[in-house]
Amino acid sequence: MNKVKLTSLLLILCMAGSGVAAEASSFTAYAAEEETVITEDVNEEEEAVEEAPAEEPEDEAAVEEPAEEPEEPVAEEPAEEPAAENVEEPADEAVTEDTEDVSVEAEELPVEEKEAEEVQEAQTDEFLIDANTPDHSWVENHSMYYIDSVKGYAKGFKTIDGVKYHFNEETFYLDVGFFTYNGFVYYGSESGTIGKLASGFTRINGRRYYFWPETKDGHYIHTRAKGWFTLNGFKYYADPNTGVLRTGNTTISGSAYYFWPETKDGHYSATMATGFITLNGYKFYADPASGKMVTGFKTIKDKGYYFWPAKNTPSGKYPYAMAKGWFTLNGFKYHAASDGVLAAGFKTIDGKSYYFFPKTANGNYSKTMAKSKWFTANGFKYYAGSDGVLYKGFKTISGKKYYFWPDTANGHYKSTMVKSKWFTVSGKKYHADSKGVLASGVTSIDGNTYFFNKSNNSLVTGPKWITDGSSKYYCDSAGKLYSGKKKIGSYYYIFNTSSKKLQTGLISYNGGRYYADSNGRLQSGKKTVSGNMYIFADSTSFKARTGWISYNGNKYYGNSNGVLKSGWFTSGSSKYYFYPSTRIMATGTVKIDGTTYKFSSSGVLQSTPGSSGSSSSSTKSNATIRTLLMNYANNKNNTSYSISAQLEATSYGGNTNIRVFDLFVNSGNTYIGNAKVDVKTGDVLFTWVKTASKYVSTTRIGTTGVLW
């Protein structure tokens, strides 16, 4: 530098000495005040977050640098059956504030920060300021400087022509690019207005950042945002280390989030997504409050959804993606529609009907498909097969047959079980009881008895005969089974009043005895049944006759059951005799057991030969007495058991005219009592050891009688 210039510079400095000193003192005080503010700010928490969500990440949390293409987030595996929570579906539209990406020269919002300015006097050749250099001008010497009004270099924050800059405190260089001051990161533009401090959203080398546009709420103007922050109701997340705004799939403190990668379709770049999200054809859901990606079961506006877990995701499924179609969890089947809503209640899927339990109750889990079980809905019973398809039509369950309405019509609901009613299918009638079981075989309904086909359960109608194994029935045109005595064609039949079965053989019905052949046809005339003889009425009665009977010119006597008398019979004071082989009443002179007797034309015993009209008092032989006693006892007994007599003693109480005979049944094996017979008069006294036994009783034979 020449002497002229040096002399001039010194002169100027001397002339301005007092003014420079005063101004320097004032600048130093201003700078000290600014430094204090910054120092105080540094003591604040390193990350200031406005309205941070729950579980806000710590400053030091390391978050992955986002990939250019969205990654699939990873999160914890959900519980087997998470409790559903109600959330509102997010609105698709974002707020209207314009948050378009800006260039490095982002528009600066109004600020009111004090600037720290200092004037540095030239001390070395390197920083020597040419005296010709005007004040308030830029100087470029290996870098950019700014000459303040007193020919000094600016340092720290400086507003020049309305633009905010920062000059290095030691080198006085204009800070360009990223730089750190008092622990905060700033950015000076590298293009356009070089060194201009970034403010608001700024894209740098293809990545977005946010620099606070003003000092407010614990944030300092132009400092780079980090961690969670909220603007205009939208949440953002800046990498705590790099400050890059996260986009796409992002994992923060173990939870997955999604940030919109660009401004499109009503979403704003780098804003945290909430509600339903569609990516590459898959749907996801971010909790509206926290933004965390949801997994497992979730209730949204009273509708159920399922989102695949982040870990152990089934093959072919994507973590956090909303389930669609059929899927199985813990052995239970679910179905989600194309919009992801889980089926609840009755659903038709691919033309088939299913039922999904709408809530967890009675051992059934919410939204699970019913299968292989009965269930009741809206008061009706249903059954779901092993594939979950609801039964329709005729079905056999645990060996019993049921019917389920195939369609909703005529007051019936599809797949409901029919119960407690008659119904018609394809022209055939059926009946289901109160439990829905279809009638089969003989069934009583409302006081009438019917027969239902055992193979298809349809009602059998006639008039026609029905054969079921060895049993036969007959039904009318309404299907009602015949009961009691009925005429069918030219024949009469008797059907059991309880079972409705056709009766054969000897029949007890309505206080009388009847006899039907092997075909069930009632018989008339004289018949031998099980050793007893009967005479059955002709015409329409067919009832066994009792009392005195005239049949084919002969006389008989039938007891109360119609059994014809055999042998001696006493009625009042008269004695009669009926031939054992024919049961015909004897008349005239008759030889019985070697003794001749005389009977009147009406059958009354008159006398024996040589008795002069009175009964013989001659002593009878033991064999004769035994035969007469057996005949008498058997006539009195009226059972199918044959009574036999054996001589037990030839006297009784010292009286030789009294002989004692023991009485037996069952071919002489069972003793039932004895009879004391006067061999002179024919009087007999019965003494029963077992009165009211199953064989005989005193009420049947009586206690006294006369044998001859």
pLDDT digits (tens, 9 = 90+) for 373-399: 999 999 999 999 999 999 999 999 999
Give me the DSSP letters along 142-169: SSEEEE-TTS-B--EEEEETTEEEEE-T
Q: Determine whether 127 is exposed, middle or buried from the number of CB atoms within 10 Å of its CB (0-12, 13-18, 19+).
A: middle
Query: Please, which pLDDT band fits residue 94 given cuts at 50, 70 and 90?
Result: very low
Answer yes or no: is 244 within a domain.
no
Answer yes or no: is 648 within a domain.
yes
Which domain covers residue 544, as residue numbers? 500-590
Closest CA relative to residue 686, chosen from 610, 615, 629: 629
Lowest mean pLDDT among 179-193, 453-467, 619-633, 690-704: 690-704
Say yes or no to pLDDT of 496 above 50. Answer: yes
Claim to verify: residue 533 and residue 580 sit in the same structural domain: yes
Answer yes or no: is 541 within a domain.
yes
Per-residue pLDDT at 374:
97
For tokens 């987030």, what's the residue? 73
Answer yes or no: is 56 within a domain.
no
Answer yes or no: is 645 within a domain.
yes
Give the SS3 label for residue 694: coil
| pLDDT tens per residue, range 104-131 | 333 333 334 444 444 444 334 445 555 5
Say yes or no to pLDDT of 613 above 80. Answer: no
Q: Determine whether 97 is exposed, middle or buried from the number of CB atoms within 10 Å of its CB (0-12, 13-18, 19+).
A: exposed
Say yes or no to pLDDT of 665 above 90. Answer: no
Say yes or no to pLDDT of 619 above 60. Answer: yes
Claim to verify: residue 473 and residue 538 sit in the same structural domain: no
| pLDDT tens per residue, range 571-596 | 888 999 999 999 999 999 998 988 88
Say yes or no to pLDDT of 23 above 50. Answer: no
Say yes or no to pLDDT of 29 above 60. Answer: no
CA angle 608, 610, 616 (to 5 degrees): 50
DSSP H or E stretch at residue 249? strand 248-252
Claim to verify: residue 565 and residue 642 sit in the same structural domain: no
CA angle 292, 295, 297 (to 5 degrees): 125
Answer yes or no: is 518 within a domain.
yes
The torsion angles phi and psi of 166, rounded to 5 degrees, stand at -140, 130
Give the SS3 label for residue 27: helix
Query: Please, which pLDDT band fits residue 172 given cuts at 50, 70 and 90?
Result: confident
Residue where a domain terminates, one of 554, 575, 590:
590
Claim to verify: residue 450 and residue 521 sit in the same structural domain: no
The torsion angles phi and psi of 355, rounded to 5 degrees, stand at -135, 130
Higher pLDDT, 341 or 676: 341
Query: Please, which pLDDT band fits residue 618 given cuts at 50, 70 and 90?
Result: low
Amino acid at 368: T
* DSSP for residue 31: H
Q: Are 116 and 31 in contact (CB under 8 A)?
A: yes
Q: Give how far the C-alpha of residue 685 lies from the chain's centroid of Cα atoms, to the nearest Å.
A: 80
Q: Are 287 and 53 in contact (CB under 8 A)?
A: no
Cβ-proximal residues to 447 (8 Å cutoff; 6+ apart), any chain: none
Claim to verify: residue 623 and residue 699 sit in the same structural domain: yes
Answer yes or no: is 94 within a domain.
no
CATH number of the CATH domain containing 532 = 2.10.270.10
- Would you say the C-alpha torsion 285, 291, 293, 294 has a positive or negative sign? negative
pLDDT (mean) for 653-669 = 75
Q: Are 233 and 244 in contact (CB under 8 A)?
A: no
Say yes or no to pLDDT of 22 above 60. Answer: no
- Total structural domains in the chain? 3
Per-residue pLDDT at 257:
98
Per-residue pLDDT at 327:
96
Query: Please, which pLDDT band fits residue 268 given cuts at 50, 70 and 90?
Result: very high
Per-residue pLDDT at 145:
65
Residue 251, strand partner residues: 256
Lowest mean pLDDT among 85-94, 217-226, 379-388: 85-94
Categorise residue 435: left if φ over 0, alpha if ψ from -120 to 50, beta otherwise: alpha
Answer yes or no: is 10 within a domain.
no
| pLDDT tens per residue, range 173-199 | 899 999 999 999 999 999 889 999 999
List Cα–Cα distances, 470 to 271, 463, 481, 701, in angstroms: 87, 20, 17, 39
pLDDT (mean) for 407-436 = 96
pLDDT (mean) for 478-486 = 98
Claim to verify: residue 644 and residue 566 sit in the same structural domain: no
What is the average pLDDT score of the chain? 79
Q: Determine whether 292 is exposed, middle or buried from the number of CB atoms within 10 Å of its CB (0-12, 13-18, 19+).
A: buried
Per-residue pLDDT at 111:
38
Say yes or no to pLDDT of 203 above 80. Answer: yes
List Cα–Cα distances, 24 to 10, 11, 136, in angstroms: 18, 19, 16
Q: Which two tokens stand for residue 8?
A: 């001039």
Give me the DSSP letters along 522-566: B--EEEEETTEEEEE-STTT-PBP-EEEEETTEEEEE-TT-PBP-
| pLDDT tens per residue, range 542-568 | 999 999 999 999 999 999 999 999 999
SS in 3 state form for 598-654? EECCCCCEEECCCCCCCCCCCCCCHHHHHHHHHHHHHHHHCCCCCCEEEEEECCECC
The rounded distance, in Å, linking the Cα atoms of 274 and 291 is: 5
Query: Please, which pLDDT band fits residue 661 given cuts at 50, 70 and 90?
Result: confident
Residue where a domain terminates, one of 574, 590, 606:
590
Query: Please, which pLDDT band fits residue 536 given cuts at 50, 70 and 90?
Result: very high
| pLDDT tens per residue, range 277-297 | 999 999 999 999 999 999 999
Instruction: Give percent of the chain with pLDDT exceeding 70.
Output: 72
Claim to verify: residue 507 and residue 468 sit in the same structural domain: no
Instruction: Give percent of the chain with pLDDT exceeding 90.
Output: 58
Claim to verify: residue 468 and residue 521 sit in the same structural domain: no
| pLDDT tens per residue, range 426-442 | 999 999 999 999 999 99
Claim to verify: residue 642 and residue 672 sit in the same structural domain: yes
Higher pLDDT, 137 or 530: 530
Claim to verify: residue 637 and residue 708 sit in the same structural domain: yes
Claim to verify: residue 515 and residue 555 sit in the same structural domain: yes
The rounded distance, in Å, linking the Cα atoms of 424 and 442 is: 19
Per-residue pLDDT at 648:
74
Higher pLDDT, 516 or 130: 516
